[in-house]
Amino acid sequence: MEVRSNPTPDFSSAPQQQHRHHHAPSLPSKQPAASPHPVDTTSVSQRLQKELMSLMMSGGDLGVSAFPDGESIFSWIGTIEGGKGTIYEGLSYKLSLRFPLDYPFKPPQVKFETMCFHPNVDQFGNICLDILQDKWSSAYDCRTILLSIQSLLGEPNPESPLNSYAAALWNNKEDYRRMVHKQYFAGEAVES
C-alpha cells in the first residue's frame, strides 16, 4: 500500500464553482445554511474599487458620480444631475448607496438623501426601481444604477407609484414642476 502526503488544497485563487461540487459527509450542524454565493469581502472590496475607478474616469461627464462615504468601501454617497430637457434639469440630488457583503449577487440599498418629489420615490427617499429589486443582475454596477435612477427622474413609472400624489400630478407638467422645485428647495434649506 502506497502512502501519499495529502497537502491542504489552496482555494484562494481557484474559481468559486469548484466549491459547489465538494461533498462533505453530512453532520448535524448548528450553523446557518451557507449562502449559495460564498461571501468574500476581499473580492467585493476589489470590485467596488474597480467600479470607483471606472466612475471617476467617466462618470462626471454623464452627470453622475459617487465616492465612498468615509472609511468603508461598502457605503457611498452618489450624486445625480437632473437630465437635460427634463423637469429635473439643473437640480442635483444626493443619494446613499449601501453595498451588501454579498454584492454583486445582491443589489445595494439606494436612497435619495436630497428631497425628491417623484412618483417612484417616497418621502423617506426609497426608490421603486426594478433593477434595485427583482430585476437585479450581478452584471450591473454603481454607474448603471446611477444612470438608471437619473433616467427614472425624467421617465417615471406612474403605474407603480411610491408617491401617489406625484403620480397623479405627473400629467400636469407646470404644477408638477412647481412641486419638484418646492420640495427640492425646501429640502436644501433643511440640509444647510
Catalytically active residues are: 128
| Residue 85 falls in which region: left (phi positive, over 0), alpha (psi -120 to 50) or beta | left
Question: Per-residue b/e over 165-176, b at no fewer than 16 CB within 10 Å?
Answer: ebbebbeeeeeb
> Which residues does residue 79 pair with via DSSP β-bridges, in sequence order?
65, 94
In the block, residue with C-alpha cell 453595498: 99
Contact 111, 125 (CB under 8 A): yes
At position 132, the amino acid (one-letter code) is: L
Pairing of strands 92-98, 109-112: antiparallel
Cα–Cα distance for residue pair 32/29, rounded to 1 Å: 8
Contact 170, 180 (CB under 8 A): no
